[in-house]
Amino acid sequence: MPAPWEIRSVRWRDLPALRQAFAEAFADYTDYIYSTPEQLLRVGGALLRKFFARVKDDLCRRASCLAIDPENPGRVIGAASLAPANGAVRRLPENATQLQPVFVVPGWRRRGVATALVSEVLGRLWNAGQEVLISGCSDYNVVSKRWHLAFGVTEERRYYARRPLFYWARNELWRRAYLQKTRGIPFEPLDRAKLERWFMALADELDTLEREEPWFDQRQASSESQRVS
C-alpha cells in the first residue's frame, strides 16, 4: 500500500512552507519552549537560508527531501535536511553528512513520516557513495532517542546529549528543597540521597565525556597559550 504522502526533493520555492512547518514542529520542543511563533519562524528561516546558500548540485541539497500533505500540495508536513558533518562530530569517517534537522508537524507524527524521510535520504546518500549519516538528540528527548534507536543507529554517548540531565537533576534538588522549606512538602532523606548520588555520578560522567570532545584539547591549548603569553 503506497504511503499517503508524497516525498520529493527540496526546492527553493518551498522555503515559506518549510519555514512554517519548522515553526509548527518545534513549537513544543524543549529548547524552544519559551519562543514565540514569530521567533520560531525566524530561527527556521535562518536555518533554511543557510541550507539554500549551498550550490544547487551540493550533495546535502540533492539528498535532502520533504513530505507533502496529500490533501494540500502546498503544505509541508515534514522534512529531512542535511548539512556537512561539522567539527563537533567525533571521529569523523572520510565522508559523512548529518541530519540538520529532521522534523514532522504534530498532526502527522507516529505515522512513519520521519522514518520514510530518513530512509529516502539514506538511499540518496548511498547512491552518491556515502555510507554514514550522523544525527543527534539530547537524552531528555525520549521520543527522539527512541526513534533513533528503533531506526537502528549506533549510539555514541556525548557531552552535549547528557548535560541536560545534569541540569535537570540539579534543578530537581533545588526544587524539592525549596518545596520542603516553603510549603512543608517533605524531601525524604532516602529520596535526597538517591538523587544526590545520581547527580554526582552525572557530574563525573560529564567530566569524562567533556575530555573526549574534539574541542577540549583545543580549549586547553588556548588556555596554556594565554598563560604563557
Q: What is the pLDDT of residues 174-185, one digit of tens each?
A: 999 999 999 999
Q: What is the pLDDT of residues 45-85, one digit of tens each?
A: 999 999 999 888 899 999 999 999 999 999 999 999 998 87
Q: Is cis: bond before 189, omega within 30 of 0?
A: no
Name which of 127, 135, 113, 13 is nearest 62 in CA terms. Answer: 127
Q: What CATH number does the domain located at 6-151 have?
A: 3.40.630.30
Name which of 108, 24, 25, 18 is nearest 66 in CA terms. Answer: 18
Angle between helices 15-26 and 37-52 (to 10 degrees): 130
Q: What is the dihedral of CA 54, 120, 131, 148, to 10 degrees?
A: 100
- Put simply, whether the predicted model's pTM sits higher than 0.85 gets the answer no
The cell numbers describing 84, all together, are: 556537512
Domain ranges of the chain: 6-151, 162-228
